[in-house]
Chain A
Amino acid sequence: MPALPAPGAGQVNEVWWISVIKALVIINLLMLTFAYMTWVERKVLARMQLRYGPNRAGPFGLLQPIADLVKLIRKESFFPASAVDILYIGAPVLSAFTALAVFSVIPFGPGWEVNGWTINGEVVNVPISLVLIFALSSLGIYGFIVGGWASDSKYALLGSMRTCAQMVSYEVSLTFAVLGVVIMGQSLSLVDIVHKQAETFWFFGPQFVGLLIFFIAGVAETNRPPFDLPEAETELVAGYHTEYSGMRFGLFQMGEYVNMITLSALAVTLFFGGWYGPYAPLGPLWFLLKLAVILFVFMWLRATLPRLRYDQLMRLGWKMLLPLATINAVVTAALVVAL
Chain B
Amino acid sequence: MALAPERPRIYEGSRIPSPVPTMLQVPPDLRGSEDLLQVNFGPNHPSTHGVLRLIVDLHGEDVVGLNAVIGYLHTGFEKNMEAKTWWKAITYPERIDYLSFQNNELVFVLAIEKLLGLEVPEKATWMRMCLAELNRIHSHLVWLGTAALELGSISMFWYCFRERDSILDLYEMVCGARMHTRYFQAGGLAEDIPRGFFPDAREFVDWMPKAVDDYEGLVDKNEIWLERTKGIGLLSADDAIALGQSGPVLRGSGVDWDLRKSEPYLAYDQVDFSVPVYENGDVWDRYKVHMDEMRESTRIIAQCLDRLEGMEGQPWIADDRKVVLPPREELQTSMESLIHHFKIVTEGYRVPEGEIYVAVESARGELGCYVVSDGGPRPWRVKFRAPSFVALEATATCMTDALVADLIAIVGSLDTVMGEVDR
Residues of A within 8 A of B (CB): 45, 48-51, 154-155, 157-158, 225-226, 228-229, 232-237, 302-312
How far apart are the CA atoms of A48 and B159 in the complex, in Å?
A: 10
In the complex, 21 of the A-B residue pairs with CB atoms within 8 angstroms, ordered by the A residue number, are: A49-B154, A50-B159, A51-B158, A158-B39, A158-B58, A158-B404, A232-B152, A232-B405, A233-B47, A234-B152, A235-B404, A235-B405, A304-B155, A304-B218, A305-B152, A305-B153, A305-B222, A306-B225, A307-B151, A309-B227, A311-B61
How far apart are the CA atoms of A226 and B225 in the complex, in Å?
A: 11
Closest CB of chain A to B288's CB: distance in Å? 16
Closest residue of chain A to B404 (Cβ to Cβ) is A235
Closest CB of chain A to B234's CB: distance in Å? 16
Given pairs A234-B149, A237-B46, A306-B153, 10 additional interface contacts (CB within 8 A): A50-B158, A154-B39, A234-B47, A234-B151, A305-B224, A306-B151, A307-B151, A308-B227, A309-B406, A311-B61
Partner of B405, one of A45, A157, A225, A310: A310
| B224 adjacent to A308 (CB under 8 Å) | yes
List, in ascending order, chain B residues with CB within 8 A of A48's CB.
155
> Is B162 at the interface (CB under 8 A from chain A)?
yes
| A306 adjacent to B228 (CB under 8 Å) | yes
List, in ascending order, chain B residues with CB within 8 A of A154's CB.
37, 39
| A226 adjacent to B224 (CB under 8 Å) | yes
| A303 adjacent to B228 (CB under 8 Å) | no
Closest residue of chain A to B159 (Cβ to Cβ) is A50
List, in ascending order, chain B residues with CB within 8 A of A306's CB.
148, 151-153, 219, 222, 224-225, 228
Residues of B within 8 A of A (CB): 37, 39, 45-47, 58, 61, 148-155, 157-159, 162, 218-219, 222, 224-225, 227-228, 403-408
Closest residue of chain B to A238 (Cβ to Cβ) is B46
Closest CB of chain B to A323's CB: distance in Å? 18
List, in ascending order, chain B residues with CB within 8 A of A158's CB.
37, 39, 58, 404
Closest CB of chain A to B133's CB: distance in Å? 25
Closest A-B pairs by Cβ, 4 of them: A307-B152, A234-B47, A306-B153, A49-B158
Partner of A310, one of B47, B152, B157, B403: B403
Closest CB of chain A to B177's CB: distance in Å? 24
Closest residue of chain B to A157 (Cβ to Cβ) is B37
| B46 adjacent to A234 (CB under 8 Å) | yes
How far apart are the CA atoms of A71 and B174 in the complex, in Å?
A: 44
Partner of A309, one of B46, B148, B405: B405
List, in ascending order, chain B residues with CB within 8 A of A225's CB.
152, 154
List, in ascending order, chain B residues with CB within 8 A of A226's CB.
152, 224
Closest residue of chain A to B219 (Cβ to Cβ) is A306
List, in ascending order, chain B residues with CB within 8 A of A49's CB.
154-155, 157-159
Closest CB of chain B to A245's CB: distance in Å? 16
Closest residue of chain A to B150 (Cβ to Cβ) is A234
List, in ascending order, chain A residues with CB within 8 A of B222's CB.
305-306
Closest CB of chain A to B290's CB: distance in Å? 16
List, in ascending order, chain A residues with CB within 8 A of B58's CB.
158
How far apart are the CA atoms of A307 and B225 in the complex, in Å?
A: 8
Closest residue of chain B to A304 (Cβ to Cβ) is B155
How far apart are the CA atoms of A264 and B153 in the complex, in Å?
A: 23
How far apart are the CA atoms of A154 and B55 in the complex, in Å?
A: 13
